[in-house]
Structure 1
Amino acid sequence: MRPRLISWILVALLAAAAGWFARSVRHEHPAAGSRAGERRILYYQSAMHPWIRSDQPGKCTICGMDLSPVYEGESGIAAGADVINLSSNNVTVANVATSPATRKPLIRTVRVAGTIEDDASRRRVLSAYTDGRLDRLFVTYPGAEVKAGQPLAWLFSPTLLAAVREYVGLVRTGSAASPDSTSMVAAAASRLVQLGLTPEQVTKLPETFSPTNLHVEILAPLTGTVVVKDVLEGQTVAAGQRLFEVADFSTMWFQ
């Protein structure tokens, strides 16, 4: 009687253990569509590698990501197709971001190391062509913006003033002068250019010069920035002395 009782107890324990094991297996791997109200899972698929499929949950054998379930009514990811359809779960797992197609400027930023330098061909140094005195400065500090032809200073120079008077006198009396007056006027005009006047200034002298005008304007040779100012108002300057330096920074070089 006693051995039979022990046998019944062992059978009961084995049955209880088998029932517990079966319930735990069903809890961990529920059958597709076994719960009421849930969609049936057709298979599991890798969002990154669609050709990896499985009947059971798991991980992709290539990238290690969790396989995404494909439910009944969904087409899944078509491997190798030009256009694919992603379920909401696939979009979440694959971290896919979408944006409406619009027309925008294509901007590309290139980050490199180098130096920015101005164009040396767009830099001018203004020096005194003759001895004289700067009685007035119109540009009083470096960094001032100037335009081509803008007056920078008034120069009083006895040598330049004598050459101006000679040229103006030849032009104004040219009609009554000898046949050589034309060549003399040209020579006088050339001398004024050598003394620092521009051809435009020389052309206007016969109309604008008066005996009371003792100064000649020093003009900016180009539009740009005064980067050097080496003189003061009232300063006496010698021929060849640097007065200003003007640079055009509208075009820069990258090296």
Structure 2
Amino acid sequence: MAHDHGSHASASSTSPATGPRPPSPLPSADYGHVRLEGVPLVELGFSTSKVERKPLVRRVRTTGWVTVDETRTSHVHAKVRGFVVATHDRFVGSTVKKGDPLVSLYSEGILAAELELLSLVDQRRALESSATGSGVARSLDPVVEAARRRFSLWDVPSGQVARVEKTGKPTRGVTLSSPREGVILVRGAIDGTYVEPSTELFVISDISRLWIVFDIFEHDMPFVRVGQNATFQCEGMLHAHDAKISYLSPTIDPATRSLRARVTVDNLGGTLRPGAFSTVDLGIDLGESLVVPSDAVLHTGVRDLVFVVKDGMAVPTEVVVSPGDGGLVRIEQGVAEGDVVVTGAQFLVDSESRLRAGSGASHAH
């Protein structure tokens, strides 16, 4: 026969930063007490354990993967339309330094701008050489300067513009240089192809520092903080290495019900590679708490119970629990340090308790 569960406070988790609260009375319920006198507990499949105060460290183990540091990654795009005429032997996996040439483009827009600049420069020189045109030549200075500034909008180096003016020969295009030192991860520039500003030509990343991204599931979220220590080990690595959590996502992934987190790690001699699989272990200090073995707690779905041994009776006692670790459960309310609780075969004790409560013998001694 089932208990009348009534109305009771539900169990709730507490933050690891919150210290253990002293036991406080919980609402009473019509539970049946189970007499244990005269019958060895071992024969019933029972054992007992004391409620103890212990320091707890919660272990969280999850999986992740190595990825590039987005703050050290550059995407190279042209700011003009044109055709790829040279890629300077760049390929995926090659290492470049900042300023190294990546790709040369032929651009009708740049060619037209160079021809316009040369025409203005020639006009100004002609006026300067005439006896009466010096004033008019000075009036062309702002126009010539505006023509020069246009090239900076296309990332055409100032040295190239000066060379065009000096030689009088247009270059017909631009050579794009690497914006950073790193490794080419993506190459979209193919000789002869037409490109425009939306075309991704290269992705270059400095892989001397990488991210390891992993997921934290909802029941572990309250215990994870930025700055906590983590240990990671990638496939192929002989040893685990330490790092600190550097980021926690502000949102939960609705598909996986998990929180995205990451650690930032130095690339140990170049042995870490983006895309590698990794395991991540977190050791979370929960502080000192009252604990009981996890098999001492009976989870009914509405409340949590333990059976406290008093005067030969197993007394059902409602408790408030929060997650622990290592086979132990933290007790926030309901029992005191030193109490003895039944462990193992709780369902047998609970069934007997229900029968006695139903038969009116719940308070028999």
TM-score band, normalised by the shorter chain? Answer: 0.3 to 0.5
Structure with the bigger percentage of strand: 2
Length-normalised TM-score, structure 2: 0.34
Structure with the bigger percentage of helix: 1
When Rg is computed on C-alpha atoms for both structures, the one with the higher figure is 1
Whose RCO is larger (CA < 8 A, sep 6+)?
2
